[in-house]
Chains A and B, each alone.
Chain A
Amino acid sequence: MSEKEFLNIVLPFKDKLYRLALQYLISKDSAEDATQEIIYKLWKNKTKISSYKNVEAFAMTMTKNYCLDQLKSKNSNNLKLVHSNYTDANSSLDKNMEVNDSVNIIKQLINGLPKKQRIIIQLRDVEQYTFEEIGKILGLKQTAIRVALSRARKTIREKITEKHNYGIN
């Protein structure tokens, strides 16, 4: 397989890998590194790629596992530092617009969710994977995904109305 053929397969879902890694690792730099690493691993195993039924789901699973490893390893100590830098830079970036403000609040709400729910929201509501695909990626049963998703969505709804009623920002 040539580099061009490989990239034709991989590039369409590259950003999905990145956004998933971002949900796990929070820091943009770490997420970039994770994406690069996963694609590099895929490239090394490129002879096997054609035998995978769903390369994208496989790559997403790899990303998930890689990120969990990263979080477990000692590197996770550094991530917290990067995390605080990251939120600061971001909130100042689009602070001015009211819509962006409320979108940022949603972002913070979602970041406050348990990790599993956060990832499922990302995979379903952002990337629009089916329950079957999410089940493959995360190694979970579809019913479990549905329950977690519903719980996550309801938590967001509750938090929004709370904020709305008390005017807390």
Chain B
Amino acid sequence: MELINIEKLLDKYFDGTTSIDEENALKEYFAKNDIPSHLQDYKAMFTYFAKNKEEVSSKNIQVKTEKKTWRFNWLIASAAALLLFVSVYQFTPKGPTDSEIKEAQIAFNETKKAFQLISDNLNKGNNAIAFLNEYESTKSKIFK
């Protein structure tokens, strides 16, 4: 393409009125090596546009697998549920066993015996106090 045309196109380009085809013509022109020095500055600009298009995503696209975060959440949820289940099972009070019942019965009987003993001795003391009271009332009759 002739230089005058290129300059005209450049003016249009900077006004934002070039068509895609015209812009492609400019890109083609600036891809060459023999650019007049006063247009040399624009070469880098058009080279940048071409080079930018070479920038590609390097990751492979996966659509079938679930998102990682979700899988992780389910793992946490199931672990928490399991923990809850285990702890509930572990800490629920269980009924007393037979040997425990027997032991408790023995302890109860022993305690009963002990209380009986205390009560007997207490009654002995009470009788003695009743005797003292008798003495007191007789004494008050005599010494008025």
In the complex, what residue of chain B is closest to A150 when comparing beta carbons?
A: B16
A3 within 8 A of B: yes
Interface residue ranges, A against B (CB under 8 Å): 3, 6-7, 10-11, 14-15, 17-19, 22, 31-32, 35-36, 39-40, 43, 99, 102-103, 105-107, 110, 122, 125-128, 130, 146-147, 149-150, 153-154, 156-157, 160-161, 164
* B52 engages A3 (CB within 8 Å): no
Contact stretch, chosen from B53-61, B79-87, B127-135: B53-61
* B56 engages A146 (CB within 8 Å): no
A/B interface sample: 23 pairs, CB < 8 A: A3-B63, A7-B61, A11-B61, A15-B57, A17-B57, A18-B56, A19-B52, A19-B53, A31-B57, A36-B62, A39-B61, A103-B47, A103-B48, A106-B45, A107-B48, A110-B48, A126-B49, A126-B53, A128-B20, A130-B20, A146-B17, A160-B42, A164-B41
Distance from A82 Cβ to chain B, minimum over Cβ atoms (Å): 16
A164 to B56, CA, bound (A): 31
In the complex, what residue of chain A is closest to B63 when comparing beta carbons?
A: A43
Choice from A6, A35, A156 contacting B63 with Cβ under 8 Å: A6
B29 within 8 A of A: no
Distance from A130 Cβ to chain B, minimum over Cβ atoms (Å): 7
A149 to B15, CA, bound (A): 8
Distance from A168 Cβ to chain B, minimum over Cβ atoms (Å): 14
Distance from B72 Cβ to chain A, minimum over Cβ atoms (Å): 16
In the bound complex, residues from chain A placing their C-beta under 8 Å from that of B49 are: 125-126
Chain B residues touching A, range: 20 to 34
In the bound complex, residues from chain A placing their C-beta under 8 Å from that of B43 are: 102
Distance from B8 Cβ to chain A, minimum over Cβ atoms (Å): 15
In the complex, what residue of chain B is closest to A148 when comparing beta carbons?
A: B16
In the bound complex, residues from chain B placing their C-beta under 8 Å from that of A10 are: 61
User: Would you list which residues of chain B between 55 and 107 have a CB under 8 Å from chain A?
Assistant: 55-59, 61-64, 67
Distance from A144 Cβ to chain B, minimum over Cβ atoms (Å): 11
* B14 engages A157 (CB within 8 Å): yes
* B57 engages A127 (CB within 8 Å): no
Given A3-B63, A22-B55, A149-B16, does the pair A128, B44 have CB atoms closer than 8 Å?
A: no
* A127 engages B63 (CB within 8 Å): no
A10 to B57, CA, bound (A): 13
Choice from B16, B17, B45 contacting A156 with Cβ under 8 Å: B45
* B48 engages A106 (CB within 8 Å): yes
